[in-house]
Amino acid sequence: MTPTVFYHPLYSALPLPEHHRFPLAKYQALHQSLQSLPLRWQQANPISREALTRIHEPTYVDALLQGSLDPLSLRCIGFPWSPLLLERTRLSVGATVMAARHACEEGCALQISGGYHHAHRERGSGFCLFNDLVLAGDLMIAEGRAERVLICDLDVHQGDGSATLCQGRDDIITLSLHAERNFPGNKAHSHLDFPLPDGMQDDAYLETLSQALELALRLYAPDLILYQAGIDVHRDDELGYLALSDEGVRQRDRFVFETAQTRGIAIAAVPGGGYRRDWSALVPLHRILFEEALACCLR
């Protein structure tokens, strides 16, 4: 069965200031690129306020929804506030939740945006307002679709928000492979952290990933993986300190999907980060995630 991908046209509709670092246009271009693959598509629905307050402080949620968050907090997030920003974010968070539900039913699903792993309970950071990964895991457990969820975060930046939100929980497990010296400066404590040295290349990275994921599955036995597949691990990324090649990114994604399939674990994937001034160069790298998911489902 071909995987289902969740998407909304508003993903690339948000106007940003000139020279803003976030490559928003890549989502529409990625959607266009993926039309050549035999994927199934569903349009995302926005997440509700009530769902957001399951993991976020209600006063923080309301301040964002109403546009009353203080300027310093907005600066930490990195986006100027607008109603469209909140609409887009709620759609993207909703898409991750929908992908997680679909994965629990059919084994595998993806969405084109998402991966807001720097969002904490009462604050946002690093282009992340609400933590879609933790919320999706929390809802799948509450709905009885999963007993234990593994957030497998392979973005170059540590998922500090996911780590803090899941501290003290034994039903949502956080695994992070990240560049040790990269953002955030003050790392949180995931259940399993693997800080990596600058310039790590394909072979060393893939060996570390193999050991890390095997350890996570052996210790925690999840029945759902939420996969953050950041391409900012690539050697040409302008905000990443690692050095994976195109083929290294492909082998990474293939390994995660094949591991989930072999173990009979449902998996929902989001593209995560990737930063270049020439944002069009990001599209083929993000496309790899969907190609490998499709190939795995068709095997």
Just list the catalytic residues: 118
Q: Kindly tell me the sign of the dihedral angle through the C-alpha atoms of 44, 34, 101, 230.
A: negative
Q: Kindly tell me the sign of the dihedral angle through the C-alpha atoms of 252, 179, 17, 129.
A: positive
- Which tokens go with 211? 């050991």
Q: Which DSSP string do the residues of 135-190 spell out, in sequence order?
A: HHHHHHHHTTS-S-EEEEE-SSS--HHHHHHHTT-SSEEEEEEEETTSS-SS----
3-state helix, strand, coil in the chain (%, to 5): 45, 15, 40
- Which tokens go with 29? 């271009």
Residues 290, 110 contacting (CB under 8 angstroms) = yes
CA distances to 150, 172, 288 from 146, in Å: 10, 10, 27
Nearest alpha-carbon partner for 131 in 93, 185, 88: 93
Residue 11 pairs with which residues in a beta bridge? none
Residues 153, 162 contacting (CB under 8 angstroms) = yes
